[in-house]
Amino acid sequence: MTGPRRASARLHRRYPRLTLRVDVVIEARGASVAATATTLGAGGLFVATTAPLELHAPLVVRFRLPGDDTELRFHAHVAWSRAPATGSVGIGIAFDDAGARSDLAARLERWAELREESRSGASGV
């Protein structure tokens, strides 16, 4: 997805996304795949992976936010995929449980606040 369509998708997202690197484990069809998420929001995440996961495939995704020991676990599905020809190979994963999305939104907001506080303190502001 590139150009105006990509910009349009960003404008129509239900949840804001953070750019960060998080190790994730994706469980699908009885197998586990380790990968790295590069964006994360309460609605889902983008995972850089070449694992052959089908569109709409049901998944369980596990990860920890940076600096937090709590493992988060979500039922999810493959929302879209990006082929190698586009330059950034991976899949968009959407979280299925509204309650879990709400909990993650609060966690991400708190995490972003703590990150901003630590940056402000480090710069002497």
Q: Is residue 69 part of a domain?
A: yes
Question: Burial level of 59, CB count in 10 A (0-12/13-18/19+)?
Answer: buried
Confidence of residue 13 (pLDDT cuts 50, 70, 90): low
pLDDT tens sequence across 35-46: 999 999 999 999
How far is residue 84 from each of residues 26, 33, 52, 71, 88, measured CA to CA in Å?
20, 18, 12, 30, 6
Q: Is residue 43 part of a domain?
A: yes
Q: Is residue 3 part of a domain?
A: no
Number of domains within the chain: 1
Q: Is residue 35 part of a domain?
A: yes
pLDDT tens sequence across 76-117: 999 999 877 766 789 999 999 999 999 999 999 988 888 888
For the cut 90, the answer to whether the pLDDT of residue 63 exceeds it is yes
Confidence of residue 5 (pLDDT cuts 50, 70, 90): very low
pLDDT tens sequence across 68-81: 899 999 999 999 99
For the cut 70, the answer to whether the pLDDT of residue 1 exceeds it is no
Q: Are 78 and 59 in contact (CB under 8 A)?
A: yes
Q: What is the pTM of this model?
A: 0.80
What is the distance between the alpha carbons of residues 78 and 69, in angstroms, rounded to a whole number?
A: 26
Tell me the percentage of the chain whose pLDDT exceeds 70.
82
Residues 6 or more apart whose Cβ sits within 8 Å of residue 86: 1, 2
Q: Is residue 7 part of a domain?
A: no
Q: What is the CATH number of the domain that holds 96?
A: 2.40.10.220
Q: Is residue 6 part of a domain?
A: no
Which structural domain range is residue 36 located in? 12-123
